[in-house]
Amino acid sequence: MLATERLNATVTGPAGAPVLVFAHGFGCDQNMWRLVAPAFESDFRVVLYDHVGAGGSDVASYDPQTYSRLSGYAADVIDLVEELDAGPVTFVGHSVATMIGVLAEIERPDLFDRLVLVGPSARYIDEGDYIGGFSASDIDELLESMDSNYLGWSHSMAPAFMGNADDPDLVAELEESFCRADPTIARQFAEVTFRSDNRADLPMVSTPALVLQCRYDVIAPMAAGEYVRDHLPQASYVVLDAVGHCPQLSAPGPTIDAIGGFLRS
């Protein structure tokens, strides 16, 4: 099956223009970029896609062994860019997709011009002086909660991810997105996401990157974003005065401005 079909890719914008590939985070799909991606369609060829197992992707293509590591998702990105004959591209990743983009760039740097990392974390679990925001027992409890009551987990975690308690529609949207996911696939993706450690990968990135950090984010706190910034060879850093882990929904205007400024720099 073609990567565009497997990943439910959509392509807009003028042919021959520079390419932006938008990748969503855990528990979401490409619809999470609907307030940001259209702002670039006049000047860029915009590619949106769903990770296998999410959104409108081909769920039958999901293989637990292939996707037991983030490298499996990175291989999909490479397949997609190659199939579209689109490289070098700017890859815009959110949450766990930031590290998927990092791994794809390390594997095939010729396919990437720039990286935009929205809410990145190279490791979610605290270790020594490193602050990821969670203890190992926190992650154990999160995964156990998904095992015992996935719908209950979705209801309790959506407010933490979104952060904007004063906008219940955004929280409800994220909860619905969690609930649409296949619980078995979501559980494995959560384990891969929250137990991965990509700190050693950061210095191997050769392209310029923008680290886009929310000021108040309990999923990827400031310390995690600063770590990513400090360990990438060529990093720009923008802090959004935003709450939560999904600024593309809660603060689309500043998110667009930050990405646009980086692309023009």
Catalytic residue among 29, 154, 245, 250: 245
Q: What are the two backbone dihedrals, phi and then psi, of residue 143, each rounded to the nearest 5 degrees?
A: -70, -35
Catalytic residue among 29, 76, 201, 217: 217
Instruction: Tell me if 129 sits within 8 A of 57, measured CB to CB.
Output: no
CA distance 178 to 118: 19
CA nearest neighbour of 131 among 116, 121, 140: 121
CA distance 221 to 227: 10
Which helix (H) or strand (E) element contains residue 176? helix 168-180
| Residue 217 designated active-site | yes
Catalytic residue among 57, 95, 196, 250: 95
Look up residue 125 and give its DSSP letter. B
SS3 of residue 115 by DSSP: strand
Strand partners, 123: 197
Q: Please enumerate in sequence order all residues whose Cβ is within 8 A of that of 34, keeping only pairs 6 or more positions apart, or say none.
A: none
Instruction: Tell me if 220 sits within 8 A of 172, measured CB to CB.
Output: no
Q: Please enumerate in sequence order all residues whose Cβ is within 8 A of that of 248, keeping only pairs 6 or more positions apart, or say none.
A: 32, 33, 35, 36, 94, 118, 255
Which helix (H) or strand (E) element contains residue 196? none
| Residue 95 designated active-site | yes
| Residue 57 designated active-site | no
Q: Report the catalytic residues.
A: 95, 217, 245
